[in-house]
Amino acid sequence: MKRTLGTCYYPEHWPEEIWEQDAARMVEAGLTWIRIGEFSWSKIEPTPGDLRWDWLDRAIEVLGQAGLKVVLGTPTATPPRWMIDKHPDMMAVDVDGKPRKFGSRRHYCFSHAGYLEECRRIVGMMAERYGQNPNVAAWQTDNEYGCHDTTISYSDAARVAFRDWLRARYASIDTLNTAWGNIFWSMEYNSFDQIDLPNLTVTEPNPAHVLAFHRFSSDQVVTFNKVQADILRAHSEAPLAHNYMGRITDFDHYDVGDDLEIASWDSYPLGFLEDRVGASPEQQRAYARQGDPDFQAFHHDLYRAVGKGRWWVMEQQPGPVNWAPYNPVPLPGMVRLWSWEAFAHGAEAVCYFRWRQAPMAQEQLHAGLLRPDSADAPAMGEAQQVAREIAEAPEVAHHQAPVALIFDYNAEWMWTVQPHAAGARYFDLVLDTYRALRRAGLSIDIIPPRSEALAGYKAIFAPGLMHMDPALKQALEASDADVVLGPRSAARDQDFCIPTPLPPAIEGLDVTVSRLQSLRPDMPIALNGGGAVKLYLEELEGSAEAFLTTEAGEPVAVSAKGVTYLGGWLDAKAMDRLVLEVAQRAELTITQMPEGIRMRETATEQFLFNHTTETVVHQGHDLPPAGVVRIAL
Ligand code: GAL
């Protein structure tokens, strides 16, 4: 498949007279895909039942006539104001029991049956009208599920649906009471109808209750998406996508991805830097105009897994955004680097958000490819350069990386429910591991916690899987790859109780977590030979041989027969030592990368990216700031 570019366009924001001219300029810029429609419900249906498709017909026609391909978004992330009059209780309710209000977007509760019906209706009409339109070459369901903290809702509708979900899962209330350990604090229920949502309790609710609510909330997103996917598929052969967001983890993206052909995500490297990446203030300063060198790549690899190989960047930051604490302009060249980085990780398409900067409303200060006066914004030149470069470049090559890293949404919820140390987040543990692998110059596949995903790797890293499905655990124990588990692996059963025999109970590895502690951030525990454990440390009992120990001689990493168990959260230096050890055992070639230089290999190409503000020479290549080197293999 040829690599392509695109943009996000809002014909409803602009006078119709300029659509043709816009389309001609998009073609001239080398763009292929134009995503439209995802927020346009009030323009399609200004009052209930009064449907105005004419403008959308013309917009699609104008874009198609120019030779562009349309990605048509379903408008369900922005129900119009009249919808609230019709369904006053459709808003999501926050943890304090307050309903969200109209006036921005994503103001709906996934569990509201009336709103779901409205979505069926609008998506059905859209699919019937445009399903066979040759200019509609892909679909996007909704927009950024879960963004603005919208997965979890404590509404009445959610409570009713949660009870049904529990009934289906546990069948009898006694089974649920036993599984959750509700005898503790006399929390036993007599019927499913007594179970409330786990907010507004006096002190913390039962972790089993909260975990079940996370799983339920995730399933509600999956169902909501599947309703749309089934309707679209009945009328159209064009592929279906959703645009996920960075570091949104409160629903299982793999499950949503199972119902779509393409995964896509919205990449805002500078927007994410301050409050999503989790980097230190020094790191944020050093990468203020470039973005974190690993955070985007991590999501590229994650969404490649969610899309089972087919993935896009649906929204690429083209200049300053409006929504981060500070919004600097990117270093010249970064828009090109971000685009190429996505292609290096296997993206089929990169679409810039947005075509023209909006003069009105919430995103006035968000750059586009054009300024509000329609002159080219600085990103335009870089997008055009990428368009010229991809025209000459080979097709997207799918390629299995030598190393896999498991990312599990269920583990993320479990760590959130019971972090044990303030600020201990599973996502950060996985990202720390990913960073260490990238510092060693490795290309990585992120994979789901599914046993069928494990084949063909030399090494598999699976940090922090607090609950391990028995099939996955057995598959990892039996894998030919060098497997690294821990900390906290298999530490809870599926209902959040500590199992016996005590964790991690790994076949062939004599190690038991006998005690554990969490550590203040200023109390790391140093290791013999360099590096330290931070935040979380387990005491390991058993005869398995240790290859990392504390200065007091306590084992931190033990291994036998290709399986390593790690009893702590390693800092960067210790993590590098671990990667070196595993690479030697697994016969992986590693290259220590200079600060901010990252490498990615496919079967046919090697890429080097310079995320720093200085020129760096690496392996004989001169890499200027924002430099990209592409080598045919
Ligand atoms: C995304 C969203 C877009 C736009 C963009 C601004 O999260 O999908 O609609 O708001 O952010 O950066």
Dump pLDDT digits (tens) for 81-131.
Answer: 999 999 999 999 999 999 999 999 999 999 999 999 999 999 999 999 999
For ligand 1, atom 9: residue with the closest CA: 143
Q: Which residues face 538 on adjacent strands? A: 516
- Cβ-Cβ contacts under 8 Å for 633 (sequence gap 6 or more): 601, 602, 603, 604, 605, 606
Q: Which residue among 353, 357, 364 is best mutated to probe the pocket of ligand 1, counting the most ligand atoms within 8 A of its Cβ?
A: 353
**What is the whole-number distance in angstroms between the Cα of residue 318 and the centre of ligand 1?**
12
CB atoms within 10 A of CB 581: 17
278: left (phi over 0), alpha (psi -120 to 50) or beta: left
Give pLDDT, residue 617: 97
Q: Which residues are identified as catalytic?
A: 144, 315
CA distance 46 to 57: 16
Ligand 1 contacts CB of residue 242 (under 6 A): no
Mean pLDDT of 192-217: 98
Ligand 1 contacts CB of residue 142 (under 6 A): no
Ligand 1 contacts CB of residue 110 (under 6 A): no
pTM above 0.75, yes or no: yes
Q: How confident is the model at residue 397 (pLDDT cuts 50, 70, 90)?
A: confident
Q: Ligand 1: which atom is nearest the Cα of residue 147?
A: 7
| Greatest distance between any 2 Cα atoms in the chain | 77
DSSP 3-state of 242: strand
| 628-632 sheet: strands from edge to edge | 597-601, 605-610, 628-632
**What is the whole-number distance in angstroms between the Cα of residue 143 and the centre of ligand 1?**
9
Mean pLDDT of 150-169: 98
CA distance 95 to 108: 15
Give pLDDT, residue 342: 98
**What is the whole-number distance in angstroms between the Cα of residue 607 and the centre of ligand 1?**
28
DSSP 3-state of 184: helix
Mean pLDDT of 18-39: 98
The token pair at 112 is 């509201």
- Percent of the chain at pLDDT above 90? 98
The token pair at 209 is 């209750």
Ligand 1 contacts CB of residue 268 (under 6 A): yes
Mean pLDDT of 470-497: 98
**What is the whole-number distance in angstroms between the Cα of residue 115 and the centre of ligand 1?**
23
Residue 213 · residue 234 · CB < 8 Å: no
Ligand 1 contacts CB of residue 324 (under 6 A): no
Q: How confident is the model at residue 464 (pLDDT cuts 50, 70, 90)?
A: very high
Q: How confident is the model at residue 628 (pLDDT cuts 50, 70, 90)?
A: very high
pLDDT tens digits for 557-607? 999 999 999 999 999 999 999 999 999 999 999 999 999 999 999 999 999
Average pLDDT, the chain: 98
Ligand 1 contacts CB of residue 315 (under 6 A): yes
CA distance 447 to 427: 14
Residue 72 · residue 79 · CB < 8 Å: no
CA distance 236 to 138: 9
**What is the whole-number distance in angstroms between the Cα of residue 577 and the centre of ligand 1?**
39
Phi, psi angle pair for 598, to nearest 5°:
-130, 150
